[in-house]
Amino acid sequence: MNIAGNYVLGFGKFGAPRLELAGLALASALAWWAMFLALVVYLLWHPQLKPYRLFQQWYRLRLPLMRELMVMGVPIGVSIFIEYGLALVVAYLIGRLGTDALAAHQVAVQTSLIVFMIPMGMSFAATALVGQWFGRKDLEGMKRAWGVSLATIVSLTTLVAIALLLFRQPVIGLYVDLSDPENAELIKLVKPLMVIVALGNIFDGIQKTTLGSLYGLQDTRMPVLLNILAYLGVGLISGYFLGFWVGLGAKGLWVGYYMGATTAATAYSWRLLSKLRKFDSC
Query: Over the stretch 124-133, which tens digit does the pLDDT of each residue have?
Result: 999 999 999 9
**What percent of the chain is modeled with pLDDT above 70?**
100
pLDDT at 212: 95
CA distances from 174 to 107, 108, 110 (A): 9, 12, 11
Per-residue confidence (pLDDT) for residue 52, from 0 to 100: 81
pLDDT(175) > 80? yes
Query: What is the tens place of the pLDDT at every residue in 87-123?
Result: 889 999 999 888 889 999 999 999 999 999 999 999 9
What is the per-residue pLDDT across 34-54, written as a single tens digit (0 to 9) for each? 999 999 999 889 888 888 888
Among 4-8, 184-188, 253-257, the least confident range: 184-188
Buried b (16+ CB within 10 A) or exposed e, 4-27: ebbbbbbeeeeeeeebeeebbeeb
Q: What is the pLDDT of residue 58?
A: 75
Model pLDDT, residue 177: 87
What is the model's pLDDT at position 55? Answer: 80
Q: Helices 250-281 and 184-216: crossing angle, nearest 10°?
A: 10
Residue 158 near residue 202 (C-beta atoms within 8 A)? yes
User: Reduced to 3 states, what is the DSSP secondary structure of residue 3?
Assistant: helix
Return the pLDDT at 278: 87
- Would you call 194 helix, strand, or coil by DSSP? helix
**Over 90: is that where the pLDDT of 280 sits?**
no
Q: Which of 237, 259, 161, 147 is nearest to 202 (CA)?
A: 161
State the average pLDDT for the chain. 92
* pTM more than 0.75: yes
The two most distant CA atoms of the chain are separated, in Å, by 67
Alpha-carbon Rg for the chain, nearest whole angstrom, is: 22
